[in-house]
Amino acid sequence: MRSGAFGSPSGPNGTGPVEPALPNTVFDVASLALYGCHALPIRLKILLDRLFSVLPPEDVVQVLTGFGWSLEDYARGYILQVSFFFSFLLLLLLLFWLFSISAFVQPKKTGTIMATHRHTQKRAQRACCV
């Protein structure tokens, strides 16, 4: 992790101290940037670095893990590996999609097939007996 990421009172360009922020506000802003994302644009990461600098490290880890990010993933700027939960969710979505597609493809009715089969058998019997 680069120096000055957390706990530094001044921004990366020496822009001065960060204003105090409530943990709930930091959580709300972090949710907009982290929820459902696997990579962070650099400007959002700078914003989150500044917001996280006013929180204790334990709260930062709690916010990150709440959205599926580890501290190492956050320092890197992207999630290295998709978790089991997201893989399972993707599998469920794929199965749902397959079942919804199968609703449009209707197999022939068995009654129609059986009637056609009986008609063919009768035709074969007549041809045999004539």
Q: Contact 43/76 with Cβ under 8 angstroms?
A: no
- Domain presence at residue 97: yes
Query: ∠ CA(7), CA(11), CA(15), 5° rounding?
Result: 140
Is 30 within a domain? Answer: no
- pTM for this entry: 0.51
Task: Give how many domains the chain has, as a whole number.
Answer: 1
pLDDT per residue rounded down to tens, the chain (130 residues): 444 455 555 545 556 666 777 888 888 999 999 988 889 999 999 999 999 999 999 999 999 999 989 999 999 999 887 666 767 777 788 888 888 777 666 655 555 555 565 666 666 666 666 5
* CA-CA-CA-CA torsion sign (48, 49, 50, 53): positive
| Residue 23 is assigned to a structural domain of this protein | no
- Asked whether residue 47 is domain-assigned, the answer is no
- The verdict on residue 118 lying in a domain is yes
* 124 is a domain residue: yes
Determine, yes or no, domain membership for 74: no
Residue at 78 is within a domain: no
Estimate to the nearest angstrom the gap between the alpha carbon of 43 and the chain centroid: 22
Which range marks the domain in which residue 93 is found?
84-129
- Name the nearest CA neighbour of 33 among 19, 51, 15: 51
3-state secondary structure the chain: CCCCCCCCCECCCCCCECCCCCHHHHHHHHHHHHCCCCECCHHHHHHHHHHHCCCCHHHHHHHHHHCCCCHHHHHHCECCCCCHHHHHHHHHHHHHHHHHHHHHCCCCCHHHHHHHHHHHHHHHHHHHHC
What does the block give as tokens for 6? 């957390």
